[in-house]
Amino acid sequence: MANLTRIPVGRIFSFWSRSFSSPIKTPFFSSTLSHVPSYKISTTAHYSSPPPSPPPPLSAAMNTQVFSSSSRWRPMCLYFTQGKCTQMDDPSHLEKFNHDCSRDLQVNGTDIEKKRSQNVDFLLVIDLEGKVEILEFPVLLIDAKSLSLVDFFHRFVRPTKMSEQSVNKYIEGKYGEIGVDRVWHDTAQPFKEVMQQFEAWLSQHNLWEKERGGRLTRAAFVTCGNWDLKTKIPQQCEVSGIKLPPYFMEWINLKDVYLNFYGREARGMMSMMKQLEIPSLGCHHLGIDDSKNIARVLQRMLVDGALMQVTAKRNPVSQKVEFLFENRIQHPSRQRQ
């Protein structure tokens, strides 16, 4: 008989009751959940002991998914999102945890017909996590025509200039309450290595060629605010001792497009979702979940007829950022825009 390891997971699922506090109703997405059953979650879970290496497959992502009535919600495996799940052949693991990132991002086929043509073929939704240094780097690749999820890139990032004690305290405060600290410690990599993997991923999808100047081709980044690419990426590049990549020189701030398209202000992702009556999925401030929620807002705006235009550009020489929309969201008293 295989050895069993008892792993407390009470806090991993502690957000479930909050996520399912009310029925979810939305006409936009193809799958709806009109009734959410009550779950009795044991505070202790049993997992078969894995081989000594790689790390044990504690799947700790917090994705509240919207399925058809015949499907059962399962949390996303965060080892899988980083290509490190070792139990893909274990039926019990697959029964407990979801390994399909696209399930949250399906759109009704009839809605796609209403959208307008875009200036790019693909949209890269990015939402970084980490104030001192970047802790999480998630990117979702959305097809601008079909609005479907083509692929995703997700890495946890290990700070390079912080002491081990500071990192542990940092991670416990950031991810401990939602039970993601274990998977972060198991999988986090230095930012420089993450960027190398990200560029290989971009090249795989023919969105970037270093030999052609290093800018994106047929694609544009989409952010919820200017902070991610205006402030944090340049800071992290400096800390990590690398040059700011050319593909980070321009982006689409979804909040500015939202303001100009709908004629009303929304100062954050949650505000946009509330105004559009889109249910919030997963755990707020877990980057992969926030990226999905931003992508859902993006899909809705595209269906409604919005045109995604670049809202900010950085001068590669002076590094000064030019904002292209006269009417835009501004947060003068906050660091994170």
pLDDT digits (tens, 9 = 90+) for 182-195: 999 999 999 999 99
pLDDT above 60: residue 60: no
- The answer as to whether 335 is a domain residue is no
* From 93, 129, 154, 250, active-site residue: 129
- The answer as to whether 178 is a domain residue is no
pLDDT in tens, 128-141: 999 999 999 999 99
- The answer as to whether 116 is a domain residue is yes
Q: How far apart are CA 302 and CA 305, in angstroms?
A: 5
129 is catalytic: yes
Phi/psi of residue 77, nearest 5 degrees: -85, 115
Q: List the CATH number of the domain containing 128.
A: 3.30.420.10
Burial of 264 (0-12, 13-18, 19+ CB in 10 A): exposed
Residue type for position 271: S
- Domain containing residue 245: 106-157+190-323
pTM tops 0.75: yes
- The answer as to whether 311 is a domain residue is yes
DSSP state of 98: B
Of 122-126, 177-181, 229-233, 316-320, the one with minimum mean pLDDT is 177-181
* From 185, 205, 284, 285, active-site residue: 285
Looking at the 3D structure of the chain, how many domains does it have? 1
- The answer as to whether 144 is a domain residue is yes
pLDDT in tens, 101-118: 898 898 887 778 778 999
Q: Which of 283, 288, 292, 290 is nearest to 13 (CA)?
A: 283
250 is catalytic: no
- The answer as to whether 202 is a domain residue is yes
